[in-house]
A and B are shown apart, each in its own frame.
Chain A
Amino acid sequence: MATPDLSPAQLAAPAYPAELRSQLFQYVLQLADTSLILAHRLSEWCGHGPVLEQDLALSNIALDLLGEARSYYQYAAELEGRGRTEDDLAYLRSAVEYRNPLLVEQPNGDFAYTVVRQFLFDNFHYQLLKGLQNGPDARLAAIAEKSLKEAAYHLKWSSEWLIRLGDGTPESRRRLDKAIATLWRFAGELTTPTPNESQLQELGLVPDYAALLPAMQAHVAHVLAEATVPLPTAPVAQLGGKTGRHSEHLGYLLAELQYLQRTYPGLTW
């Protein structure tokens, strides 16, 4: 992956003080890791989708997220300013250095499991991008403005599938209930700020999660009602991924994702 040139406006990032720059680097890296890991999970469906159209949908969503991840990694690399490239950040960090929430590294399971994971992420992602596009950091705002159009399609897709599965056949409902029972505990981490996120939120540099929650909860309530699924009682949020404490799944995922660069360092197309 070549680093594209940037327009002068994009290069003129505000001159953040060193400490803030480092905090923003961590934040942008977390966004990048989250989109990359989910993109990789979705790409595992390629050729295995339940029907051709949904196989294509999953690959399309994976590609959008991968493109978004690249934009974040490029920005993160510039913020860090130590000569690491987007490729170094994606391919040469170990699992404990990854900052994605636990939800996105969970395995695909069956189609219902993938739909619920996607719905929980899309609902958060859509509102987060809406906040970021109006934020004070011009670069994050530009990336969010671009990705928001795509995220709207993703959320529509996962919302509609959640409704079809919930209000479908006894078998689709059984699988959906199981997926919700397993995955709902990972939703809370998305909007539980880490100390780093809290500080950036207090500075007004990134969206405050508390402000995103009403719209997120309203959409969940609407979709679950349409799906005839009772709203799950909020389980205790399973935390860890955003501070580097991951489930065992991430190591296996990275082993596959990073294999080529680890085995043949510096290899390019």
Chain B
Amino acid sequence: MVTAAPAPTEARIWQLLEEVTDPEVPVLSILDLGIVRQVAVEGEHITVTITPTYSGCPAMNAIATDIRLRLLAEGYPQLTIHNQLSPAWTTDWMTPAGRAKLEAYGIAPPVDGTATGHILNLFGQDTAVRCPLCQSEHTHLVSQFGSTACKALYQCDDCREPFDYFKCHA
């Protein structure tokens, strides 16, 4: 039986967006990631404003599709998704809950205030990143570029495990 969906409210849309996850890091909702900037409801029409994490992140297209499908499944077909570049996304927008989920998933969360802003700081001291597996602080940077645009590669000097670090992007 098909019943008409109740009129959308902003609160309901935020609830539904919490169920849309990052395709690369499925434990994170897009709200944890801090990419949803605004939800506006005007009658039946919904506008969701999102900010891309990295310019070339292939997950952004998938996320936009997932938002559309999730709202469609609730009977909300009238949707516009805005891509807003400025202000640029920063890992400061990632929620504490998101950071905890990341670490539990085996990805070290961003350490605030350690973005690569100083181009002359070559071969600079690596950020002290805690190993998400054994919690040791004895780790070292293997490469600033990892399996996706948002991650760097680290290795733990105590348990020897290599792990991903969600880089600080501020």
Is A67's CB under 8 angstroms from B85's CB?
Answer: no
Partner of A149, one of B57, B84, B88: B88
How far is B49's CA from A205's CA once the two chains are assembled, in angstroms? 28
Is B55's CB under 8 angstroms from A146's CB?
Answer: yes
Residue of A nearest to B119 (CB): A155
Is A229 on the interface with B (CB-CB < 8 A)?
no
How far is B86's CA from A261's CA once the two chains are assembled, in angstroms? 32
Is B85's CB under 8 angstroms from A156's CB?
Answer: no
How far is B64's CA from A226's CA once the two chains are assembled, in angstroms? 45
Is A54 on the interface with B (CB-CB < 8 A)?
yes
Is B55's CB under 8 angstroms from A71's CB?
Answer: yes
State how many angstroms separate the Cβ of B164 from the closest Cβ of chain A: 11
Is A5's CB under 8 angstroms from B142's CB?
Answer: no
Partner of A159, one of B54, B80, B122, B146: B122
**What number of residue pairs across chains A and B have CB atoms under 8 A from each other?**
108
State how many angstroms separate the Cβ of B154 from the closest Cβ of chain A: 11
Give the size of the chain B interface in residues (CB under 8 angstroms). Answer: 36
Is A63's CB under 8 angstroms from B49's CB?
Answer: no
A76-84, A137-145, A185-193, A244-252 - the one binding chain B: A137-145
Residues of chain B lying within 8 A (CB to CB) of residue A128: none
State how many angstroms separate the Cβ of B142 from the closest Cβ of chain A: 6
Residues of chain A lying within 8 A (CB to CB) of residue B145: 53, 56-57, 59-61, 153, 157
How far is B122's CA from A219's CA once the two chains are assembled, in angstroms? 11
Is B114 on the interface with A (CB-CB < 8 A)?
no
Instruction: Fill in one digit per residue for A198-239: 1 if any B CB lies within 8 Å of its CB, else 0.
Output: 000000000000000000000100110010000000000000
Residue of A nearest to B51 (CB): A146
Residues of chain A lying within 8 A (CB to CB) of residue B120: 219, 222
Residues of chain B lying within 8 A (CB to CB) of residue A54: 143
Is B115's CB under 8 angstroms from A57's CB?
Answer: no
Residues of chain A lying within 8 A (CB to CB) of residue B84: 7, 9-10
Is B56's CB under 8 angstroms from A65's CB?
Answer: yes
Is B49's CB under 8 angstroms from A7's CB?
Answer: yes
Instruction: Fill in one digit per residue for B45-64: 1 if any A CB lies within 8 Å of its CB, else 0.
Output: 00001001011111001001
Partner of B85, one of A10, A159, A223: A10
Is A226's CB under 8 angstroms from B122's CB?
Answer: yes
State how many angstroms separate the Cβ of A189 from the closest Cβ of chain B: 22
Is A150 on the interface with B (CB-CB < 8 A)?
yes
Residues of chain B lying within 8 A (CB to CB) of residue A222: 120
Residue of A nearest to B89 (CB): A146
Is B138 on the interface with A (CB-CB < 8 A)?
no
Is B78 on the interface with A (CB-CB < 8 A)?
no
Partner of A145, one of B57, B61, B87: B87
Residue of A nearest to B79 (CB): A5
Residues of chain A lying within 8 A (CB to CB) of residue B41: none
Is A160 on the interface with B (CB-CB < 8 A)?
yes
How far is B149's CA from A62's CA once the two chains are assembled, in angstroms? 10
Is B149's CB under 8 angstroms from A57's CB?
Answer: no
Nearest first, the 10 closest Cβ-Cβ pairs linking A and B are A67-B55, A67-B56, A142-B86, A63-B56, A57-B145, A53-B143, A60-B145, A4-B83, A142-B85, A7-B82
Q: A53-B143, A156-B116, A163-B122 are in contact. List 18 more A-B contacts (CB 8 A).
A: A5-B80, A7-B84, A10-B85, A56-B145, A60-B145, A60-B149, A63-B54, A63-B57, A64-B54, A64-B55, A67-B52, A67-B55, A67-B57, A68-B56, A138-B86, A147-B55, A152-B117, A226-B122
30 A–B contacts, CB within 8 A, in A order: A5-B80, A5-B82, A6-B82, A6-B83, A7-B83, A53-B142, A53-B143, A56-B143, A56-B146, A57-B144, A57-B145, A59-B145, A60-B146, A63-B56, A63-B57, A63-B58, A63-B149, A66-B55, A70-B55, A70-B56, A71-B55, A138-B86, A141-B86, A146-B55, A155-B119, A156-B121, A156-B122, A160-B122, A163-B122, A226-B122
